[in-house]
Amino acid sequence: MKAARFSRFGGPEVLEIVDLPDPHPGPGQVRIAVRAAGVNPSDWKKRRGLMDEELPQTMGYEAAGVVDELGEGVADVAVGDRVFGFSAEGAAQAESAVLSSYAPIPPSLDFAGAAALPAAIETATRSLDALGVGAGSHLLVNGASGSVGSAAVQLAVARGARVIGTASAANHAYLRSLGAAPVAYGAGLVGRVRALAPDGVDLALDVAGSGALPELIELAGGPEHVVTIADFAGAQEHGVRFSRGDAGRAVHAIAGIGELIEAGRFSLPVARAFPLAEIAEAHRAGEDGHVRGKLVLLVG
């Protein structure tokens, strides 16, 4: 099968499409013929050598496609079913991938739209759970217009929370459409949030990693009410919880998202789609920033 891989660390130019042996599912897993795979910031962190030291490395933790092989004990899907989910091996950007956690693709979604979901939904759910967001919570999301931020906004609204989200002015209408009250990020954030919430907020989630943790702590009434997924150094400095996947993933979240999507209560736009062979261009687009929605690779 064709798969994305790199054999040295560096820029997007180190990415290659190579031939690898076909994978096979273990107990409780399924193999899919991949139709689309998500692209995430962790991909370029891996490629730069910021996460794992071993070489070579394959790419991709989320994909959507058609089941073509079942592992032992799998009875909830059949060969030919459309599913999306997680590749625990980090090898989803390929023609075939083994999924360790999976769910049926919602009927209204195509493969690209489904491949955009798993990482954003898992990260957002894990972070909201860490904060204890529920009905009546007042949540501030710093960096609310990206894939994880917009997922967090919508999932929090679905839980019954009130949400304020920071974003550039160009994304304020988008945040309103998701059910959040938008504010501009940057200097003066505390004053702008207090104009909407004079007593501050109950909880704050930092998705942007923009150095705003002191302001979030002030608005939420203490570091214990703040979680960041993007500012590890700031979390250590200010006593804020840093949520990371290796501390326990919320992979269960993908099983319930279909109901929200079909009810029109959740959406995650695909910003751009690239053929697998153009993975380097996808990385360049992602690293450049300014992407609203998700980047995906199309396979097959």
Give the list of residues 6+ apart from residue 250 with CB closer than 8 angstroms, or none.
Answer: 122, 125, 126, 129
- In degrees rounded to 5, what are phi and psi of residue 37? -135, 140
> How high is the pLDDT of residue 88?
86
Mean pLDDT of the chain: 94
Look up the CATH architecture of domain 2-116+269-298. Answer: Alpha-Beta Complex (3.90)
Q: Among residues of the chain, what percentage have pLDDT more than 90? A: 89
C-alpha to C-alpha distance for 37 and 238, rounded to whole angstroms: 36
Superfamily of domain covering 121-247: NAD(P)-binding Rossmann-like Domain (3.40.50.720)
The end-to-end CA distance of the chain, in Å, is 11
Given a contact cutoff of 8 angstroms between Cβ atoms, the answer to whether 283 and 105 are in contact is no
pLDDT of 12 strictly over 90: yes
| Residue with tokens 């942007």, as numbered in its chain | 208
Question: Tell me: the pLDDT tens digits for 58-92?
Answer: 999 999 999 999 999 999 999 999 999 999 889 99
Helix or strand holding residue 157 (H, E): helix 147-158
Q: Where are the domains of the chain?
A: 2-116+269-298, 121-247
Record the tokens describing residue 90, joined without a space: 């980090």
> How high is the pLDDT of residue 155?
98
> How high is the pLDDT of residue 248?
57
Q: What is the pTM of this model?
A: 0.93
pLDDT band at 246 (very low <50, low <70, confident <90, very high): low
pLDDT band at 290 (very low <50, low <70, confident <90, very high): low
Residue 255 or 244, more confident: 255
Question: Tell me: the pLDDT tens digits for 164-190?
Answer: 999 999 999 999 999 999 999 999 999
C-alpha to C-alpha distance for 84 and 133, rounded to whole angstroms: 26
Record the tokens describing residue 189, joined without a space: 């954030």
Instruction: Give the closest residue to 60 by CA, choosing from 29, 105, 99.
Output: 99
| CATH topology match: 2-116+269-298 vs 121-247 | no
Q: How large is the average pLDDT for residues 112-135?
A: 96
